[in-house]
C-alpha cells in the first residue's frame, strides 16, 4: 500500500490546466523530491493533497484511505501535515505557544472553554520536547516575532512533526535561508524517523538531493520523469526542462 497515491488528478483554473492527469505513488517511509521550474504546478499539487483545493477529477489516497472529498481540516487528523513556502505562524505568540497550537489542533482539548491553558503541564512538556528536537528549546519563551527566519522555519517543522504525521509535505523548506540555516534544516530533515513519509518540493538541488530517495520532475502540471536520484539527474529531459527546449 502506498503512503500517498494520486490517480488521474486534474485541476484547472478557468482555461488553464494547472494539474494535468497526475499519477503518483509514494511508498511508506520514502523521501520523495518534487522538482520542476516555476509554474510547473508543484505547490498546486500540494494544495490539492492537503485539501485547500478541490480537484476537478481524479483521486487521492492516504495509506489506502480515499481522502479526495475529505475537508482540509480533517486531513491532519488522518496523519497529514504540511509546511508552507512562506512561513505563516503566529508572531504575537511565543515559540512554545506556537507549538501548543499545533498540538491542540488534534486534541479534543481545543474545544474546552473552562480549563486554564497555562496549567496543562503535559501539553507544555510535549511542546518543549518538540522544540528540543529542532534545537530551539533554549528560546522557547521568546516571541516568534523576535526570531530569525531560519529559526521560524525550524519552529514550523517542529509544529508539523509535533502532530506525529504519517505523511509530511514540505513546500520549499530551504527558501529564504542562509547557507548555515540550510545546513541546520537539512540536518533536521535527515533526522526525521522513517515512520514519517516525506514529500518535498525544492528548487535548491544542492541541499535537496541528499534527502531524496526518488525524484519526480514536473512541468506544466504534468509529471515528465520519475525515478531514482541517479536516473533523474542523468536523464536528458531534465536538462531540457530546466534550460528550455
Partner 1 sequence: MSRWIALALALVALATVPWWVVNGYYVNIVSQILIYAILALGLNVLVGYAGLVSLGHAGLFGVACYTVAWFVAAGWGQLAAALFALAMIIATSAVFAVLSLRATGIGFLMITLAIGQILWGLAYRWIGVTGGDNGINVPSRPAPFGLSLTFSRPFYFFVLVVFLVAVAAMAVLIRSPFGASLKGTRDQPRRMTALGYNVWLIRFVAFLFSGFWSGVAGVLFCYYNQFVSPNVLALSSSAEALLMVISGGTGTLLGPIAGAALVVVMKNVASAYIERWNLVLGAIFVAIVIFMPEGLVPGSVRLWRWAWSLRRGPRAAAALRTGGGSAG
Binding site for partner 1 (CB under 8 A): 50, 52, 72-77, 82, 84, 88-92, 97, 100-102, 104-107, 109-118, 120, 143, 145-146, 159, 163
Segment holding 49, helix H or strand E: helix 42-50
Pick 90 or 220: Cβ nearer partner 1: 90
- What is the smallest separation between the CB atom of 90 and partner 1, expressed in angstroms? 5
- What is the smallest separation between the CB atom of 172 and partner 1, expressed in angstroms? 16
Pick 74 or 228: Cβ nearer partner 1: 74
- How far is CA 103 from each of CA 72, 167, 210, rounded to the nearest angstrom? 17, 16, 30
Pick 70 or 209: Cβ nearer partner 1: 70
- What is the smallest separation between the CB atom of 14 and partner 1, expressed in angstroms? 22
- What is the smallest separation between the CB atom of 169 and partner 1, expressed in angstroms? 10
Pick 15 or 73: Cβ nearer partner 1: 73
In the DSSP assignment, the letter for residue 96 is H
The Cα–Cα gap between 3 and 62 comes to 6
Return the number of other C-beta atoms located less than 10 Å from residue 235's C-beta.
17
* Locus of grid cell 494520486: 6
- What is the smallest separation between the CB atom of 98 and partner 1, expressed in angstroms? 10
CA atoms within 13 A on the CB side of 164: 7
Pick 161 or 223: Cβ nearer partner 1: 161
Task: Write the DSSP assignment of 151-200 as a string of letters.
Answer: HHHHHHHHHHHHT--SEEEEESTTTT--HHHHHHHHHHHHTS-TTSEEEE
Amino acid at each position: 500500500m502506498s503512503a500517498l497515491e494520486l490517480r488521474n488528478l486534474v485541476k484547472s483554473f478557468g482555461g488553464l490546466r494547472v494539474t494535468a492527469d497526475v499519477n503518483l505513488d509514494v511508498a511508506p517511509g520514502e523521501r520523495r523530491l518534487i522538482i520542476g521550474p516555476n509554474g510547473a504546478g508543484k505547490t498546486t499539487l500540494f494544495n490539492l493533497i492537503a485539501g485547500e483545493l478541490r480537484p476537478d477529477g481524479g483521486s487521492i489516497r492516504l495509506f489506502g484511505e480515499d481522502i479526495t472529498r475529505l475537508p482540509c481540516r480533517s486531513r491532519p487528523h488522518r496523519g497529514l501535515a504540511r509546511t508552507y513556502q512562506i512561513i505563516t505562524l503566529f508572531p504575537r505568540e511565543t515559540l512554545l505557544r506556537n507549538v501548543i497550537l499545533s498540538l491542540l489542533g488534534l486534541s479534543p482539548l481545543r474545544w474546552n472553554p473552562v480549563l486554564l491553558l497555562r496549567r496543562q503541564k503535559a501539553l507544555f512538556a510535549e511542546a518543549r520536547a518538540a522544540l528540543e528536537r529542532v534545537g530551539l528549546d533554549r528560546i522557547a519563551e521568546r516571541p516568534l516575532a523576535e526570531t530569525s527566519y531560519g529559526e521560524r522555519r525550524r519552529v514550523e517543522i517542529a509544529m508539523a512533526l509535533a502532530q506525529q504525521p504519517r505523511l509530511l509535505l514540505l513546500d520549499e523548506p530551504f527558501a529564504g535561508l542562509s547557507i548555515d540555516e540550510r545546513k541546520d534544516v537539512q540536518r533536521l530533515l535527515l533526522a526525521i524517523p522513517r515512520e514519517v513519509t516525506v514529500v518535498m518540493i525544492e528548487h535548491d538541488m544542492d541541499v535537496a538531493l541528499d534527502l531524496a530517495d526518488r525524484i519526480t520532475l514536473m512541468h506544466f502540471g504534468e509529471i515528465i520523469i520519475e525515478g531514482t536520484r541517479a536516473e533523474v539527474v542523468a536523464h536528458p529531459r531534465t536538462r531540457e526542462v530546466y534550460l528550455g527546449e
